[in-house]
A and B are shown apart, each in its own frame.
Chain A
Amino acid sequence: SQQGEEDPQALSIQEGENATMNCSYKTSINNLQWYRQNSGRGLVHLILIRSNEREKHSGRLRVTLDTSKKSSSLLITASRAADTASYFCATDEGNAGKSTFGDGTTLTVKP
C-alpha cells in the first residue's frame, strides 16, 4: 500500500497564482521530501523537512509538516509556466534507508 497519498491528483492554475499540494502518510517518519518531475525527465529534489521541523522555505517554495495529522503541504507562490510538472512527496520511515513515494500531483500553470 502507498505510504504517501497526494491531493489533488491534478491542479490547473493561472500564472501568478499560488499552488498548494498536500501529502498524507500513514506511519511515523524521519523526514519527508518533495520532488518535481518534468515530463520525460528524472525527479529533482526540491526540499526535505525533518520530523522535528514544522516549516521550511526555499525560494518560492514553502513546505509545512504536521506530524500529528501525518500530513505535509507544498506551496508554490507566484507560479510560472515553468513550474508545470508532477510533484511527488516521499517519506523516509527510517527503515533500511528507503523512501516511499506518493502518487504525485500534476500541476499545470497556464501562461
Chain B
Amino acid sequence: DTAVSQTPKYLVTQMGNDKSIKCEQNLGHDTMYWYKQDSKKFLKIMFSYNNKELIINETVPNRFSPKSPDKAHLNLHINSLELGDSAVYFCASSRDSLFYGYTFGSGTRLTVV
C-alpha cells in the first residue's frame, strides 16, 4: 500500500556506469518530482513532470534523464556516473488542485565508487 515507492533502496556502482532508479505513485497525483539530498541533508529539486510532461528541469547535467511513461511513473536514468553523483535521490508526488504538500518516497541511496 506504499503511496510513493522507489527502487532500488540502495545502489552501489562504479564510476562511468549507467544506472536507473524507478518511482511509482498510487495516489492519483498529477505531478511527480525528483529531489537530490546531499551529505549535508540539503534538498534540491532536479525535475518535475505533470501528466507526463516535463515542467521543471533545474540545472542538472545532461547525464541525468528523467522519463515518465505515464502519470503514475517517473524514472531517473543516469549516464556515466561520477563520484559527485553520490547522494540520496527522492521521488515525490503532489496533486495539482489545492496543493497540500509532497508525498515522498523512501529514497535511493546512490554510492559511486
A102 to B38, CA, bound (A): 13
Report yes or no: A43 in contact with B50, Cβ–Cβ below 8 A: no
B88-111 at interface with A (beta carbon < 8 Å): 90, 92, 94, 96, 99-107
Which A residues are closer than 8 A to B by beta carbons? 2, 30-31, 33, 35, 37, 40-45, 48, 86, 88, 90, 92, 96-101, 103-104
A43 to B45, CA, bound (A): 14
Report yes or no: A88 in contact with B101, Cβ–Cβ below 8 A: no
Report yes or no: B103 in contact with A45, Cβ–Cβ below 8 A: yes
Expressed in whole angstroms, the minimum distance between the Cβ of A86 and any Cβ of chain B is 6
Report yes or no: B90 in contact with A43, Cβ–Cβ below 8 A: yes
- Complex: chain A residue closest to B96, CB-CB: A97
Counted as pairs of residues, one from A and one from B, with CB atoms less than 8 Å apart, the total is 63
User: Which residues from A are CB-within-8-Å of B94?
Assistant: 97
Report yes or no: B104 in contact with A44, Cβ–Cβ below 8 A: yes
Report yes or no: B102 in contact with A43, Cβ–Cβ below 8 A: yes
- Complex: chain A residue closest to B43, CB-CB: A101
User: Which residues from B are CB-within-8-Å of A2?
Assistant: 42
Expressed in whole angstroms, the minimum distance between the Cβ of B6 and any Cβ of chain A is 9
Expressed in whole angstroms, the minimum distance between the Cβ of A97 and any Cβ of chain B is 6
User: Which residues from B are CB-within-8-Å of A48?
Assistant: 99-101
User: Which residues from A are CB-within-8-Å of B96?
Assistant: 97
